[in-house]
Amino acid sequence: MTRTALITGATSGFGAAAVHRFAQAGWRVIATGRRAERLQPLVDAYGPERVHAAVFDVRDSAAMEAALAALPADFAAIDLLVNNAGLAQGTAPAQSASLDDWRTMIDTNVTALVTLTHRLLPQLVERKGAIINISSVAGVYPYPGGNAYGGTKAFVSQFSLGLRADLHGTGVRVTTIEPGMAETEFTLVRTHGNQAASDTLYTGANPMTADDIAEQIFWVANLPTHLNINRLELMPVSQSFAGFQVARD
């Protein structure tokens, strides 16, 4: 039976790569994002019976609801929710960070994620489906400038474990994927469009790719149904941990 995945943040990075991975494997995919011009090529590549584009801002719950209500019949029964849409904004220390940036991250990474999850949970329970939430190493390990972004991702990881507890006995699987550095548009967005900063970060670092993460999402989604990966943390070999810092008088 053909399964259906809803993948948020499908216009770029992990989400776009995941749409390709799942569609190539024969899944039906609902691909979401704000940039319609990035979603249409996915529909064109696989056909409207395989990929459906749902254009909405995840922070707009009315638009989200309208997009879900407008799903073609073949896409209406969702087996897998991939909560991937998200962003970091800013790298400034908390005391000089932008409150608008913080609110944007919380609205997108936390509020929108719980809203969509809450909306789809009844049918995921009915279908013994699965949820894959994209968190980050930033939610596990603090680093200077990670402040609110790391906080949102810590929420995602802990919310996912809480979902597992509540979904006990339903057959619904819940996994958090916690990637480290991967080259996507993430840093371009984080720096409010500074391509040079993005290039500097990734150059020579052998970062993970969007395809690397899409492969993990696909692997988790296709495990035997009696297996649940609770959390999956991965980094490029080039990335590891730094020590604590000490301020001296």
Report the interface residues with ligand NDP, using CB under 6 A: 9-15, 33-35, 38, 57-59, 84-87, 108, 134, 136, 179, 181-182, 184-186, 189
Which of ligand NDP, ligand 8X3, none lies near 11, with the C-beta cut-off 5 to 8 A by kind? ligand NDP
Which of ligand NDP, ligand 8X3, none lies near 155, with the C-beta cut-off 5 to 8 A by kind? none
**Is 217 one of the binding residues for ligand 8X3 (CB under 6 A)?**
no
Torsion angle of the four alpha carbons 54, 139, 236, 185, in this order, in degrees rounded to the nearest 10: 40
Instruction: Give the pair of three-digit tokens for residue 10.
Output: 């499908």
Spatial strand order of the sheet with 80-83 comes to 51-55, 28-33, 4-7, 80-83, 130-134, 173-179, 231-234
SS3 content of the chain, % helix, strand, coil (to 5): 45, 15, 40
Q: Which CB atom, from 10 or from 130, has the smaller least distance to ligand NDP?
A: 10
Pairing of strands 28-33, 51-55: parallel
- Active-site annotation holds for 141: no
Q: Which residues pair with 31 in a beta bridge?
A: 7, 53
**Is 136 one of the binding residues for ligand 8X3 (CB under 6 A)?**
yes
Please tell me which residue in 46, 143, 149, 202 is annotated as part of the active site: 149
Q: Which CB atom, from 77 or from 235, has the smaller least distance to ligand NDP?
A: 235
The alpha carbon of 138 is separated from its chain's Cα centroid by a whole number of angstroms, namely: 14
Which of ligand 8X3, ligand NDP, none lies near 127, with the C-beta cut-off 5 to 8 A by kind? none
Which of ligand NDP, ligand 8X3, none lies near 151, with the C-beta cut-off 5 to 8 A by kind? none
Instruction: Give the pair of three-digit tokens for residue 1.
Output: 């039976």
Instruction: Give the pair of three-digit tokens for residue 69.
Output: 């209500």
**Is 138 one of the binding residues for ligand 8X3 (CB under 6 A)?**
yes
Q: Which CB atom, from 148 or from 181, has the smaller least distance to ligand NDP?
A: 181
Residues of this chain that interact with ligand 8X3 (CB under 6 A) are 136-138, 180-181
Q: Which residues form the catalytic set?
A: 149
